[in-house]
């Protein structure tokens, strides 16, 4: 899911995944080989004439659920405001390394401990939950490792994260590791590690890299470092998401869409054209000197039976310009629309408008956090009479019983 901290580049290297073979006995049956429908999504052109509108939840949300997170002296989330690292499953909510019951919001425990020990984490990049195995996985940046804890907060084991900047729990103890933004010795788009065997059971390298045989020939890759210690920076990110119980994959270098089969191999399902937004090395050097170039990165992709939704960020760090685009591709009419810097209005419960939504990787859902004082302010602005029925009434009742310095309320949206 996933991580709401946007990491444009993480300095580190993906040193490769040492695998005895691409398929072993530990590779579990995660998805089935089935016919897939192909899609062609033109991201580059879709942002040329974006809309600037407030988007009501009712346009794309089937249901909204509010889960207040219990407040104790041990469970405070960043002083009651927005959590930093979070994930949500059918059983647990994790926010700021605090673990809560998914249905009641009851505080369960503070996950693990921070420190330099082998069973501790120092800087957490992401967390994942496996409900069936009752395991929580914690991705630590330095050293690059993934720690596993049980649902009763007992440390179990650690596997190498291989320099990855993001990861996903696929089930059966398989973790999908996505490559880092920097490349030194070798390049893998993703690999799958099994936590039980601690072996790499599959690894995938982009066809673009295979065909070129040289990183410098790939658009979207920049040379960096010194002559003695060169490395490459990838200016975009691969993305993974789950739809219809299958893992889907966007490969940045080839602009291709895939679905992973039961051997974790990518099966083609279309294209997602970012070509017009990718920067060559020459453009990078000239633009950096003039300080007038934009970098583009896909923050997340989500999918329902009706739409494929892409969250795109265009930024110029020097000029402090950060433009978010919400791009929606309709599967039925094959049309694409784009909204610039979208604001989402909770018209279902008359609630707080938000400029961001966070994706849950293992469900067709999104979520966000709101604080009690935000809820109370909203009721004050619109009047109590606006919150008399349905979800709006529930919104008001939760706001009334919470104190302003209580923990956040988790808002979970089930998408249409």
Q: pLDDT 10s digit of each residue in the chain, 416 long?
A: 444 333 322 222 222 233 333 333 333 333 445 667 899 999 999 999 999 988 899 988 889 999 999 999 999 887 544 456 789 999 999 998 999 999 999 999 999 999 989 999 998 989 999 999 999 999 998 889 999 999 999 999 999 998 888 899 999 999 999 876 666 545 678 999 999 999 999 999 887 777 766 666 666 666 666 666 666 666 677 889 999 889 999 998 889 999 999 999 999 999 999 888 887 666 666 655 556 667 888 888 989 889 999 999 988 877 788 899 999 999 999 999 999 999 988 999 988 888 778 877 667 788 999 999 999 999 999 998 889 889 999 999 999 999 988 999 999 998 88
Tell me the H-state helices in 43-98: 43-46
Q: Among 307, 314, 312, 173, which residue's Cα sits nearest to residue 239? A: 312
Burial class (CB in 10 A: 0-12, 13-18, 19+), 227: exposed
Which domains can be identified in the chain, with CATH numbers? Answer: 39-415 (2.130.10)
Q: Among 79, 88, 80, 106, which residue's Cα sits nearest to residue 371? A: 80
pLDDT at 7: 31
Rounded distance between C-alpha atoms, residue 137 and residue 135, angstroms = 7
Rounded distance between C-alpha atoms, residue 141 and residue 77, angstroms = 21
pLDDT at 98: 94
Show contacts of 137-141: CB within 8 Å, 24+ apart. 137/167, 137/169, 137/175, 137/195, 138/111, 138/112, 139/164, 139/166, 139/167, 141/10, 141/12
- b/e string for 346-363 if b means 16 or more Cβ within 10 A? bbbbbbbebeebbbbbbb
pLDDT at 28: 37
φ/ψ of 392, rounded to 5, equals -65, -40
């Amino acid at each position: 899911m996933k991580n709401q901290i946007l990491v444009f580049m993480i300095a580190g290297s993906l040193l490769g995944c040492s695998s005895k073979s691409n398929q072993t006995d530990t590779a579990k049956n995660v998805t089935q080989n089935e016919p897939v429908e192909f899609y062609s999504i033109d991201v580059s052109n879709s942002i040329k004439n974006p809309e600037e509108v407030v988007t009501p939840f009712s346009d794309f949300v089937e249901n909204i659920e509010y889960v207040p997170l219990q407040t104790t002296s041990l469970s405070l989330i960043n002083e009651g405001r927005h959590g930093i690292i979070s994930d949500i499953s059918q059983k647990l909510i994790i926010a700021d390394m605090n673990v809560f019951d998914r249905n009641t919001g009851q505080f369960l425990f503070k996950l693990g401990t921070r420190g330099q020990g082998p069973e501790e984490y120092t800087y957490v990049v992401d967390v994942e939950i496996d409900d069936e195995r009752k395991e929580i996985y914690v991705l630590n940046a330095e050293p690059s490792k993934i720690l596993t804890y049980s649902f009763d907060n007992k440390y179990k084991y650690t596997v190498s994260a291989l320099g990855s900047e993001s990861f996903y729990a696929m089930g059966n103890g398989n973790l999908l590791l996505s490559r880092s933004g920097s490349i030194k010795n070798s390049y893998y788009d993703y690999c799958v590690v099994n936590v039980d065997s601690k072996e790499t059971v599959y690894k995938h390298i982009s066809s673009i890299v295979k065909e070129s045989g040289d990183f410098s020939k790939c658009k979207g890759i920049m040379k960096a470092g010194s002559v003695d210690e060169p490395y490459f920076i990838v200016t975009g990110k691969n993305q993974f998401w789950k739809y219809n119980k299958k893992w889907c994959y966007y490969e940045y270098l080839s602009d291709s869409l895939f679905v992973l089969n039961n051997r974790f191999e990518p099966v083609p399902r279309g294209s997602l054209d970012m070509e017009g937004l990718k920067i060559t090395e020459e453009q990078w050097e000239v633009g950096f000197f003039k300080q007038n170039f934009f970098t583009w990165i896909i923050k997340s992709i989500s999918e329902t039976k009706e739409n494929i939704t892409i969250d795109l960020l265009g930024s110029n760090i020097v000029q402090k310009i950060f433009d978010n685009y919400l791009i929606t591709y309709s599967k039925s009419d094959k049309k694409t629309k784009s909204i610039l810097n979208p604001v989402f209005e909770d018209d279902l419960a008359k609630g707080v408008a938000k400029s961001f939504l966070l994706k849950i990787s293992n469900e067709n859902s999104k979520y966000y956090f709101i604080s009690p004082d935000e809820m109370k302010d909203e009721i004050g602005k619109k009047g109590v009479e606006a919150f008399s029925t349905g979800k709006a009434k529930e919104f008001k009742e939760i706001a009334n019983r919470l104190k302003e310095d209580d923990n956040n309320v988790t808002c979970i949206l089930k998408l249409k």
